[in-house]
Amino acid sequence: MLTYYSRMLDGLQKVLKVLEIILLAAITLIMVYQCIMRYCFSHAQPWCEELSLYLMIYSVFLGIPIAVRHDNHLQVDFLLSFFSQRVRHLISAISAVVAIVFMVVFCIYGVSLIEHATGASTTLPLRMRDIYYSFPIGAVLVILFAVEVAAKNFLLFLGKGAAPAGEEEA
């Protein structure tokens, strides 16, 4: 069951990576355009910074799940080095469960924010709720990936799973 779930997440991760590439390329092109217009033609475009900011928000919320899945997010892991590999798996599983709970609350907050959002973008024909959709989308994606991380680490803690390549017992 976990194998099929992981395969489904592999496909989702590929889609997220393509979206990340598109978003970051768009941000780069927009900011290059803004620099050229501002410094070469002395005619800055007011929508460039705002659109770049909104694209960056989506980029962050679509990139966090990938970092969660591969354990590449910022963390203080100094204390983990004092524990055995088995205990590290338990701690990672518990952290994933805590992240899931936090993301459920964050998703509920994001949906509430969308329902109450009445503002509009200053320079673009966007409503702020269009930007706030990134909150629950990112939260749901983190939940999906954190469920896999929690399940794999619980199985490794119980000794019922294979350790990822390159991971040895401390």
Give residue-wise pLDDT tens across range 68-102: 998 887 777 777 788 888 888 998 899 999 999 99
In a domain, 166, yes or no: no
DSSP 3-state helix, strand, coil percentages of the chain (rounded to 5)?
75, 0, 20
User: Binning pLDDT at 50, 70 and 90, where does residue 1 land?
Assistant: confident
In a domain, 165, yes or no: no
Neighbour count for residue 33 (Cβ, 10 Å)? 12
The two most distant CA atoms of the chain are separated, in Å, by 64
User: Binning pLDDT at 50, 70 and 90, where does residue 163 land?
Assistant: low
User: Binning pLDDT at 50, 70 and 90, where does residue 169 land?
Assistant: very low
What's the mean pLDDT when you consider all of the chain?
89
* Percent of the residues in the chain that have a pLDDT greater than 70, as a whole number: 94
The SS3 of residue 26 is helix
In a domain, 164, yes or no: no
Q: Is the pLDDT of residue 165 over 60?
A: no
In a domain, 170, yes or no: no
In a domain, 59, yes or no: yes
User: Binning pLDDT at 50, 70 and 90, where does residue 170 land?
Assistant: very low
Rounded Cα gap, residues 31 and 54, in angstroms: 13
pLDDT (tens digit, 9 = 90+) per residue, 21-70? 999 999 999 999 999 999 999 888 889 999 999 999 999 999 999 999 98
**Domain residues for 57?**
2-158
DSSP letter (8 states) at residue 162 = P
The SS3 of residue 150 is helix
Q: What is the pLDDT of residue 57?
A: 96
Number of domains in the chain: 1
* Percent of the residues in the chain that have a pLDDT greater than 90, as a whole number: 64
Rounded Cα gap, residues 132 and 55, in angstroms: 12
In a domain, 168, yes or no: no
Radius of gyration of the chain (CA): 20
What's the N-to-C CA distance of the chain in angstroms?
A: 29
In a domain, 145, yes or no: yes
Q: Residue 112 corresponds to which tokens in the numbers above?
A: 């509430």
List helix spans (H) across 36-127.
46-70, 85-116
In a domain, 167, yes or no: no
